[in-house]
Amino acid sequence: MPKRKLSSEQLAAVKELAKQWGKIVAKNAYGQDGPPLDADFDEMEQIAAAATAGLVEGTLEHLTQQQAQRLPDELPCPACQTSCPVKTRPRKVVARGATITLHEPVAHCPNCRRGFFPPTDQPQT
């Protein structure tokens, strides 16, 4: 399957949307009046870092879950072509900015006694 890249314009739009969410995070952290005068930059940066990690986790967990849902319920074993059920197993993955729980699709062939991951060249549904 060919790799698809987002355009620089699309990425800029995502960044702008996240920037607006930053205002919501700030309001949630400090209320309508904003930070008190004794709040230093480090404290504010900690809030931003926590928000960034949460945004990374939420985005990647959601996107990988959506992608996994597009797989069929069964896939052929790459060795013997036996139809095998696709299940998921949780796996911690270190991403840029956070550690996420990936619900990784896996299949196990009872005939070959081997596990396999669904190939990336499956037709899109």
The per-residue pLDDT for range 6-53, each reduced to its tens digit, is 999 999 999 999 999 999 999 999 999 999 999 999 999 999 999 999
Provide the residue type at 61 as one letter.
E
pTM for the predicted model, two decimal places: 0.76
Report the pLDDT value the prediction gives residue 120, as an integer from 0 to 100. 55
State how far the Cα of 101 lies from the Cα of 76, in Å rounded to an integer: 26
Residue 121 has pLDDT above 80, yes or no: no
The counts of H helices and E strands in the chain are: 2, 4
- Name the token pair of 98: 């956070």
State how far the Cα of 117 lies from the Cα of 113, in Å rounded to an integer: 14
State how far the Cα of 120 lies from the Cα of 35, in Å rounded to an integer: 47
